[in-house]
């Protein structure tokens, strides 16, 4: 990889590996790593020449960077929601003032974001928004609840899809607002404990939280268009980096199967070969759609492919270890949190892969309606 700074590449790898020796779950450590990336110019590579990002890179260079980052075993990102989702949305729909205010802190790794989309009772039905934003002078007062909000407990800001037109239904009357999370007594974040023992997802309660009027992206009432545009940014370069991580996980499972002797089981061998072949198909599909626009079904196809694939990998990762797959790496007694190794964490965490980011059922509905032209599924009116 050469962005004109090839001499820095090995230094980055060394720093990344050293950082992994620390506790990756610590909030301040995660923030420090984002600022390290920002200081090195590695955030916002695909933002273009607008002056808001750091280095600029072609699409090919972005792919190389993302894959090498994953291959180096670099730390997991906590700023990706701002960099990969909000920033491209602001570049496409934001005002000059919004770009100048929010893009530089994302590029520097100074401000972290979360996504306020899903709600109780609606789940992946994004048009079922009940959270309300009422105009009060120069601001909006927001009341409602969001759920499955990734990294809300660490975020400084949240982009919130809310109903700003009283009496509106479904995708009409929505607005896309940028909301500061530091509003004591008006915003409450409750972590959701997962099977893995961690809490990456949260419930977020808005009780009269405020958003400034100039922080509505795309204009009042245009939230659905902006929200749909944002979802289109969820595929692309990051998908190829994700697949690099998947390949490393698969290689680990193959090594374990050899060491345990499970590879002699024809069913296990068949499963490993299928996973390898399917991963290659996912990569070719990602390369085929990379940089393309206007393909309504591409994000849904990609999500269907990798969600189920990752679950099957997690199941096989535990299976090849036999009885040892059910034993933790350290002695455990309540009330101390239990520990898991990488394979056990993969098995449990991947159960959510076919749910978050739009469930498999929702992805199939999108493909049926928008690609195949089948009749739309009836939707009940909101109360």
pLDDT digits (tens, 9 = 90+) for 231-258: 766 566 777 778 888 998 999 999 999 9
Task: Indicate the pLDDT class of residue 360, thresholds 50, 70 and 90.
Answer: confident
Q: What is the DSSP letter of 123?
A: B
- Averaged pLDDT, 139-148: 90
As to burial, measured by CB atoms within 10 angstroms (0-12 exposed, 13-18 middle, 19+ buried), residue 382 is middle
Q: Say if residue 329 is exposed, middle or buried (CB neighbours under 10 Å; 0-12, 13-18, 19+).
A: exposed
> How many residues are given for the chain?
383
Q: pLDDT-derived band of residue 147, with 50, 70 and 90 as boundaries?
A: confident
What mean pLDDT do residues 343-350 have? Answer: 87
Q: What is the pLDDT of residue 328?
A: 73
The pLDDT value given to residue 358: 73
pLDDT in tens, 200-224: 788 899 999 999 989 999 888 888 8
- Band of residue 5 on the pLDDT scale cut at 50, 70, 90: very low
Question: pLDDT tens across 68-110, in order?
Answer: 888 888 888 888 889 988 998 999 899 999 999 999 999 999 9
Question: Among 78-92, 175-189, 337-351, where is mean pLDDT lowest?
Answer: 337-351
What pLDDT, on the 0 to 100 scale, is given for residue 267?
93
Residue 290 confidence (pLDDT): 75
* Global confidence as pTM: 0.79
Q: Residue 156 pLDDT > 90, yes or no? A: yes
Pairwise CA distance, residues 157 & 265, whole Å:
50
Q: Please report the pLDDT score of residue 66 as a whole number.
A: 86
Which of 8, 234, 315, 369 is the catalytic position? Answer: 234
Distances in Å between the alpha carbon of 236 and those of 57, 85, 139, 296? 14, 11, 35, 14
Which residue is listed with tokens 């991580």?
Answer: 245
Partnered with residue 159 across adjacent β-strands are 115, 178
Q: What is the pLDDT confidence band of residue 21, given thresholds at 50, 70 and 90?
A: very low
The percentage of the chain sitting over the pLDDT mark of 70, rounded to a whole number, equals 84
CA dihedral sign of residues 286, 291, 292, 296: positive
CB 130 within 8 A of CB 123: no
35-76 confidence digits (pLDDT tens): 999 998 899 888 877 667 678 888 888 888 888 888 888 888
Average pLDDT over residues 267-280: 94
Output the pLDDT for position 141.
Answer: 94
96 phi, psi to nearest 5 deg:
-60, -40
Task: Pick the more confident residue, 67 or 196.
Answer: 67
CA distances from 237 to 59, 60, 285, 310 (A): 8, 9, 12, 19
DSSP-assigned states of every residue in 140-176: EEEEEEE-S-TTTTT-SEEEEEEE-STT--TTTTEEE
pLDDT confidence bin for 114, thresholds 50/70/90: very high
- Cβ-proximal residues to 248 (8 Å cutoff; 6+ apart), any chain: 70, 71, 73
Q: What does the pLDDT read at residue 277? A: 96
Q: How big is the CA angle at 231 (ends 242 and 202), to the nearest 5 degrees? A: 75
234 is catalytic: yes
Distance from C-alpha of 191 to C-alpha of 179, rounded to nearest angstrom: 19
């Amino acid at each position: 990889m050469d962005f004109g700074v090839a001499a820095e590449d090995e230094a980055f790898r060394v720093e990344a590996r050293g950082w992994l020796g620390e506790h990756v779950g610590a909030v301040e450590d995660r923030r420090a790593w984002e600022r390290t990336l920002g200081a090195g110019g590695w955030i916002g590579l695909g933002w273009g020449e607008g002056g808001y990002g750091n280095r600029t890179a072609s699409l090919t260079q972005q792919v190389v960077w993302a894959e090498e980052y994953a291959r180096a075993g670099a730390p997991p990102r906590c700023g990706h929601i701002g960099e990969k989702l909000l920033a491209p949305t602001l570049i496409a729909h934001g005002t000059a003032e919004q770009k100048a205010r929010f893009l530089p802190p994302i590029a520097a790794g100074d401000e972290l974001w979360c996504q306020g989309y899903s709600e109780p009772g609606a789940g992946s039905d994004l048009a079922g928004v009940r959270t309300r934003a009422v105009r009060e002078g120069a601001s909006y007062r927001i009341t409602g609840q969001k759920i499955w909000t990734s990294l809300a407990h660490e975020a400084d800001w949240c982009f919130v899809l809310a109903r700003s037109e009283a009496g509106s239904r479904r995708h009409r009357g929505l607005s896309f607002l940028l909301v500061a999370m530091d509003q004591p007594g008006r915003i409450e974040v409750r972590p959701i404990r997962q099977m893995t023992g961690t809490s990456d997802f949260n419930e977020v309660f808005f009780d009269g939280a405020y958003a400034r009027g100039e922080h509505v992206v795309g204009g009042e009432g245009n939230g659905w268009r902006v929200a749909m545009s944002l979802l289109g940014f969820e595929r692309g370069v990051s998908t190829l980096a994700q697949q690099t991580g998947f390949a490393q996980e698969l290689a680990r499972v193959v090594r374990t199967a050899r060491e345990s002797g499970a590879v002699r089981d024809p069913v296990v061998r068949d499963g490993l070969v299928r996973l390898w072949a399917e991963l290659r198909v996912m990569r070719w599909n990602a390369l085929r759609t990379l940089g393309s626009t206007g393909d309504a079904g591409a994000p849904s196809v990609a999500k269907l492919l990798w969600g189920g694939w990752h679950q099957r990998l997690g199941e096989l990762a535990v299976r090849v270890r036999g009885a040892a797959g059910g034993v933790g790496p350290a002695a455990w007694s309540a009330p101390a949190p239990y520990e898991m190794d990488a394979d056990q964490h993969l098995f449990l965490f991947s159960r959510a892969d076919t749910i978050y980011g739009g469930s498999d059922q929702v992805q199939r509905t999108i493909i049926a309606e928008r690609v195949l032209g089948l009749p739309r599924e009836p939707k009940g009116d909101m109360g």
